[in-house]
Structure 1
Amino acid sequence: MDSRRQKTLLIDPGARVRVWCKECGRELSDPISRQRQLGAECDPEPRTGYDRHDVDQDPIPGL
């Protein structure tokens, strides 16, 4: 083989790209934080209530 030929780079296609917070520089693991590139503490938009699911219930008899 030709000794001047560049070696093939092996890149793991399943590896996750590392994302850091724009404000504090910490590495992010939460999917929403990774999309926004802001950690939960640095993000100005509140994150409470996203997973909340209220259900109308019948009253308990006798109360």
Structure 2
Amino acid sequence: MDERYECKIISAGKPMFNLKAGSGQVIGTSQSYTSASASENIDASVESNAPSARVDDQTT
């Protein structure tokens, strides 16, 4: 994911991400996911829907 996406692990240990505008303001927030494999599906979905996007996985 590129710099517009901020991947996080929330307090319950679940992955989620924020989408940010060029100004850094959060303009969208994903749901929280239940597992690391679900988080990997997020990455795959973003890559297939935005093939030129750079991936920056900050959950590992």
TM-score in same-fold range (> 0.5): no
Report the TM-score when normalising by structure 1: 0.23
| TM-score computed with the length of structure 2 as normaliser | 0.24
Max Rg structure: 1
Higher strand share: 2
Considering fraction of residues, name the structure with more helix: 2
Q: Say which structure, 1 or 2, has more relative contact order (CA 8 Å, 6+ apart).
A: 2
